[in-house]
Chains A and B, each alone.
Chain A
Amino acid sequence: MLDSLIILLAGIFLPLFPLSMVFNAILDKITHSWLRLLLFIAWPLIGLFMVLDSNLVLPDWLLTLALATSALYALRLLTVREVNQWSGFLATSLWSLLWLAMMQETPPALLYAYAISMSLPLVLLVLLSAGLEQRYGAAYIGLYGGLARTIPRFTGVLVTVVMAAIATPLFPSFFIMLDMVVKTISATPLAATILLLIWLLWSWAGAHLIQGLIVGRTSIVKIADMEITTIGWYILVLLALVVGGIYLGGVIL
C-alpha cells in the first residue's frame, strides 16, 4: 500500500500519465523565469529521491506506463507552439524515461546525473524563451520567424540548445538514450524500438521549433542581439554538457 502511494507520488515528479499533467499545469501558472528554472532542476530530483530513498521494487507495468507517457508527450510535442510549454512537454517525455533507467538498475549517482543532464538544456531553453519574450513579447513558434537574420548570435545559441535538448550527439541525453536502448533490447526489443521512435519524435519536434523560429525574412524593426558575455556563458554551459556527455558515454557504454 505504502509502495503504491510512493509510486503515485513519485509519478507526479517523474511524470506518469495522467499525473504528468500536474507539472505542466504548474509550469503554465508560473510566469517568473527563475522559478521555472528551479522547477526544471528540482522536479525530477525530488521524484528520484522519493523512489531511491524508499528502496522500492518497481512493478513491471511501470515500464509500459513510463514508455506510454513519454511517447504521448513526444507526440503531443509536435503541435505545441509556445516555447515554455514545449520545454515542459519535452521534459515530461524525457523524465518519464528515468523509470526505465531505474528498472535497469542504474546506480543512484548516475540516475541523478541523468536527471540533471536531461534538465540542463531545458533550463537554457527556458532562459532563451525569456529572452524571446523580452524581445518580441512572446516566445511562439511560427509567429514572427527570421531570427537567423535578425538576431544571428541568439539563433546560434538557440539552435545548439535545442539540439542538446533533443538528444543529439555528443550531448549527455544522446548517450543516456543509447544506454537505455542497449539495456532494453535484449529483454523487450519492442520497448527499444518504441524508445527510438520517441527519440525520432523529439527530432521532429526540435526541427519544427527551429524552423518556426529561425526561418524567414529579416525583421524591419531593429532587435537587439545577444551580448557577447551572455553568449560566453551559454557556450560554457554547452561545452560542459558536451564534455559531460563524452564522460558519461565513457562511463555507461
Chain B
Amino acid sequence: MEQLIIVVAVLPLISALLIQLFAGRIGRRIARVSVAATTLSFLLSSLLLWWALTGYGPHALPLGNGTAVLLYDPLSALLASIILGISLIVHLYSVRYMAEEAGYGQFFVLLDLMTAALLFMVIAGDLITLIIAWYLVGVLLYFLLGQDTRSQTAYRFAFWTLITYRIGDIPLILAAACLYNAYGTWSLTTIFAEIMANPDAHQVMGLPLTEVVAALIGLAAFARSAQFLLHTWLPYTMDGPTPVSALMHAGIVNAGGFLMNRFAPVFVHSGDVLNWIFIVGLITAVFGSLLMLTQNDIKKALGYSTMGQMGFMIMECGIGAFSLAIYHLFAHGVFKGTMFLSAGSVINDARQDDGIPKDELYTFAVEKRPDKVRQPWILMAAITLAVPLVILVFAHLLVAEDYFQKQGAIVLLFFGWVTGAQLIFATYRMRTQNIWRLVGLSVLSLVVVVLGYAVISHAFDLFLYPDPAFRAQLYSAATIDLLRFDLLVVVVTLIVVSGWVVTYYGEQVGYRRRQQTKHLWLNFYALISREFYVSDIYTRLTRMLLAISGRLNVWLRWL
C-alpha cells in the first residue's frame, strides 16, 4: 500500500514530461493533463493520509541500490496532502489566469516540477534525496518567479530568492555531511534511531554533533522561511505571476517548519539551540508584523505578513511545539493562498461596488464619526485582560490537564492573551453605541478560534508524534531554568497588564505626544519605512563584492 507514495510523487513528473512533449501539438488544452495528474495525485495522497490516520505505517521504501529512500509516515502523508491540495487549487486557478500569458505550457511544466520537488522533499527518507529536492525547489522557484521573461525586475528579485535559498543550502549540506561522517549512512531513520539510542556518541570540533546539526538545520530553515536578516527576498518577489505568489506564500516558504519537524529527533538533544531558534522566530515575528503595518504597498504588506507568520512558526518550534508549527503552516497556507488567489476578484468587485455596509464600523472607520458613549475605561481594561486569559486557560485545560506544566504552552498563552486583548481593545476604540454586542461577538469569535486552535493543534500533536514520551522530550528540550522562566513570566505579565492599563487610560484622557517623543517616533518611522536598511546593506555589500571581482579581473588582465 505504502508504494502509492511513489506514484503520488512521480505523477507530476510524468505530467511535466507529457506537457513538454505535446504542448506544441495540442496547445492550451495541455493544462488539462497537468490538472488531471495533480487531481489524481491529490486523491491518492488523501488515501495515504487516511491510512496514516488509521495508524498504518510508518514505512521506509528503498529505491535502486538503497541509497535513496522514500518515507511514508504521518508527517510525509500529511504534508504531501497539503502540498497537493494547494497545488491543485493553484493549477485550477492558473488554467484561466495564465491563458493570456506567453509560455503557458512551460508554466505548467514548471508548476508540475515544483510540485514534484516539494513532494520528494517531504517524503525523502535519506539525506541525498532531501538535499536534491531542497536545492531544486530553489531553482524551480527562480524560474517560476521569472515566468515573465520580459521583466528585468521579476528576474532581479527572483535572483535574490535564488541566492538566499542557495545560502540556506549550505548549512543543510554541512549538516548532512556531518551526519554521514558520524553514522556512515544517509538514511534518516537509521540516523535518528542511533541518535535516540546514544545522542552523545559523536562530536564535531569539540561540540556535541546533535547541537551542531540542530544549529545548521535551524539556519537552513531560517533562509527558506524568511527569518530576519534572510527575509529580504520575500516581500519583493511580487512581480511573479499571482498563482506563483500563492504557491510560494502558502507552501514553499513553510519548508523551514517542515525541515525542523523532520529533524525533531535531533532537536530533542540540541541543548540551547531551540532557545536561540525561539529568539530568531520572535524577532522575525515582531519585525515582520511591524514592517507589515507600515507598508503602503499592499503586496509588500502581504509579504511582510508572511514573514511575521513564518516567525511565529519558527518560534513555535523554538518552544518545542513542533506539531503546532505544522498546524500553523497548514492554516497559514490556506489563509494566505486564499488571499492571493482572491485578490484579483476583490479588486474587480471593488471597482464596481465598494461593498462597505454603512454600519457602525463604517461610520467610525470611514466617516470618522465615533459615538460619544463610552464605558468606564477601568472596566474595559479589566475585561480586555481577563476574558482572553480565561478562555485560553479553559481551552488548554480541555485538551490536556498537565498542559501548563510545559513552558512552551505558557509562552503561547501570552501570545494568545495579547492577541485576544488587542481584539477587545479594537472593539472598545470603535466607540459604538452597542458596545456589549460587539464585545460579545468578539469574545465569541475568540472562543471559537482558541478552542479550534487548541483542539486541532492537540490532534496534530497526537497524530505527528504519537509517542507521549517523545512529545514530552520535545517540550523539555526547549525548557529553560525554572527560576529564570518564572521571573520572565512575572516581568512579561507586569509589562502586558501595565501596558494595557496605560493604553486604556491614555485612550480615555486623550493622549498627547511631547515634542521630543514625537521626534523620536518620526525617526523610528523613518527607520521602519527603510525596512531597517537591511536591503540597502545587502545591496551595498553586493556592489562591493562585484567591485572586487571586477578589479581582480582588471589586475589579472582577464586571464
Question: Which residues in A have some Cβ–Cβ distance to B below 8 Å?
Answer: 21, 24-25, 28, 72, 75-80, 85, 146, 148-149, 152, 159, 163, 168-170, 174, 178, 181-182, 185-186, 189, 192-193, 196-197, 199-200, 203-204, 207, 211, 214-218, 249-250, 253
Contact = CB atoms under 8 A, between A and B. Distances in A.
Considering residues A79, A159, A197, A253, which has the most beta carbons from chain B within 10 angstroms of its beta carbon?
A79
A203 B163 contact: yes
Contacts of A204: 163, 166
A216 B553 contact: no
A169 B136 contact: yes
A169 B132 contact: yes
Contact of A21 (B102, B132, B205, B556): B556
Considering residues B149, B150, B169, B548, which has the most beta carbons from chain A within 10 angstroms of its beta carbon?
B149
A214 B177 contact: no
B150 A250 contact: no
Contact of B166 (A193, A200, A250, A253): A200
B70 to A, nearest CB: 15
A224 B173 CA distance: 42
B131 interface: yes
Contacts of B559: 21, 24-25, 28
B170 A197 contact: yes
Considering residues A185, A193, A218, A249, which has the most beta carbons from chain B within 10 angstroms of its beta carbon?
A185
B135 interface: yes
Given A76-B549, A207-B142, A178 B155 contact: no
B546 A78 contact: yes
B215 to A, nearest CB: 13
Given A186-B181, A192-B174, A197-B170, A146 B553 contact: no
Interface string B42-85: 00000000000000000000001101000000000000000000
B229 interface: no
Contacts of B146: 211, 215
A186 B177 CA distance: 8
Interface of B: 64-65, 67, 102-103, 128, 131-132, 135-136, 139, 142-143, 146, 149-152, 155-156, 159, 162-163, 166-167, 169-170, 173-174, 176-178, 180-181, 186, 204-205, 545-546, 548-550, 552-553, 556, 558-559
A211 B552 contact: no
Nearest to A72: B552
Contact of B102 (A24, A28, A149, A174): A149
A169 B173 contact: no
Q: Say what secondary structure dominates the interface of chain A.
A: helix
A211 B159 contact: yes
A83 to B, nearest CB: 14
7 contacts: A75-B545, A79-B549, A80-B553, A148-B103, A152-B103, A185-B177, A185-B181
A146 B151 CA distance: 10
Considering residues A76, A77, A170, A200, which has the most beta carbons from chain B within 10 angstroms of its beta carbon?
A76
Given A24-B559, A196-B170, A204-B163, A146 B150 contact: yes
A197 B169 CA distance: 10
A79 B559 CA distance: 13
A218 B103 CA distance: 13
Given A78-B549, A185-B177, A215-B150, A200 B167 contact: yes
Contacts of B132: 169-170, 174
Contact of B549 (A75, A218, A253): A75
Contact of A181 (B136, B149, B174, B553): B174
A62 B550 CA distance: 26
Nearest to A217: B150
A207 B162 contact: yes
Given A215-B152, A253-B67, A79 B128 contact: no
Given A196-B173, A211-B152, 20 more contacts: A24-B558, A25-B559, A28-B558, A79-B549, A80-B558, A85-B558, A146-B150, A159-B143, A189-B205, A192-B177, A197-B170, A200-B167, A200-B170, A203-B163, A207-B142, A211-B146, A211-B156, A211-B159, A216-B150, A217-B150
A117 to B, nearest CB: 17
A170 B129 CA distance: 10
Contacts of B546: 78-79
A178 B150 contact: no
Contact of A75 (B135, B180, B548): B548
B449 to A, nearest CB: 42
Given A178-B131, A181-B174, A193-B174, A215 B166 contact: no
B167 A149 contact: no
A215 B552 CA distance: 27
Given A189-B204, A215-B146, A250 B64 contact: yes
A130 B292 CA distance: 49
Given A24-B559, A203-B166, A250 B136 contact: no
Q: Which 3 A-B pairs have the closest CB atoms?
A: A148-B149, A21-B559, A169-B132
Contact of B173 (A178, A207, A217, A253): A178
A46 to B, nearest CB: 19
Nearest to B66: A250
Nearest to A147: B149
A190 B112 CA distance: 38
A182 B177 contact: yes
A178 B159 CA distance: 23
A242 B533 CA distance: 42
A167 to B, nearest CB: 10
Contacts of B102: 149
A90 to B, nearest CB: 14
